[in-house]
């Protein structure tokens, strides 16, 4: 597939900044999007997903799907599935669980540890890599499809306006 080559890098100095990016991404979601959330344990994948789900208007608890493998949300007229494949011993567990049908044009899928389901989980529209940077984090967004590119562009323009969430004053 042709890569649209749309990327963005955001510094996330603290947890509030990760939550802010989640709120911005939430405004850029559209049905059909598959987003891989990559990075080490503790990098902030669940924090980012939780912020997206909350920004969509979900007020209940947003649990990490580490044990359940998937948490399902119907919010803001979106079907949102939050997966975590960390505990998979083989990628075929994805097929055995019947998760393939969750990936369709009506749903948004957020996927932690997609590499644990490599070859079975559908390709992403957008990859978000979270990296530790000292005590802070850096998020690298890389669009894989045109739908993902649109999400990155929208997020970047919302971020440029800078009013979508409270950020600490610059020092």
Ligand X SMILES: Nc1ncnc2c1ncn2[C@@H]1O[C@H](COP(=O)(O)OP(=O)(O)O)[C@@H](O)[C@H]1O
| Smaller CB separation from Mg ion, 136 or 156 | 136
Q: How far is CA 84 from CA 16, 157, 160, in A?
A: 22, 29, 31
Which listed residue (35, 38, 45, 78) binds Mg ion by CB under 5 A?
Answer: 45
| Smaller CB separation from ligand X, 14 or 96 | 14
Q: Is 137 in the site for Mg ion (CB under 5 A)?
A: no
Q: Torsions phi, psi of 107, nearest 5?
A: -115, 155
Q: Is 82 in the site for Mg ion (CB under 5 A)?
A: no
Residue 38 beta carbon to ligand X: minimum distance, rounded to whole angstroms? 9
Handedness of CA 82, 15, 17, 124 (dihedral sign): negative
- Which span sits near Mg ion by CB under 5 A: 26-34, 57-65, 115-123, 147-155? 57-65
Could you tell me where the beta strands, DSSP code E, fall in 13-161?
Answer: 34-38, 70-75, 78-84, 107-112, 126-133, 136-143
| Smaller CB separation from ligand X, 60 or 135 | 135
């Amino acid at each position: 597939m042709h890569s649209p080559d749309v990327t963005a890098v955001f510094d996330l100095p603290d947890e509030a900044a990760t939550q802010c990016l989640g709120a911005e991404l939430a405004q850029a979601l559209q049905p059909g999007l598959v987003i891989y959330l990559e990075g080490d344990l503790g990098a902030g994948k669940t924090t980012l997903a939780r912020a997206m789900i909350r920004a969509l208007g979900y007020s209940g608890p947003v649990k990490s799907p580490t044990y359940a493998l998937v948490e399902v949300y119907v919010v803001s007229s979106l079907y949102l599935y939050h997966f975590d494949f960390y505990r998979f011993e083989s990628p075929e567990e994805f097929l055995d669980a019947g998760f393939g049908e969750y990936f369709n044009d009506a749903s948004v899928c957020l996927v932690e540890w997609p590499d644990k389901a490599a070859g079975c989980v559908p390709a992403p529209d957008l990859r978000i890599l979270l990296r530790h940077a000292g005590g802070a984090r850096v998020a690298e967004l890389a669009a894989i499809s045109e739908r993902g590119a649109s999400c990155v562009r929208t997020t970047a323009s919302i971020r440029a306006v800078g009013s979508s969430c409270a950020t600490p004053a610059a020092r």
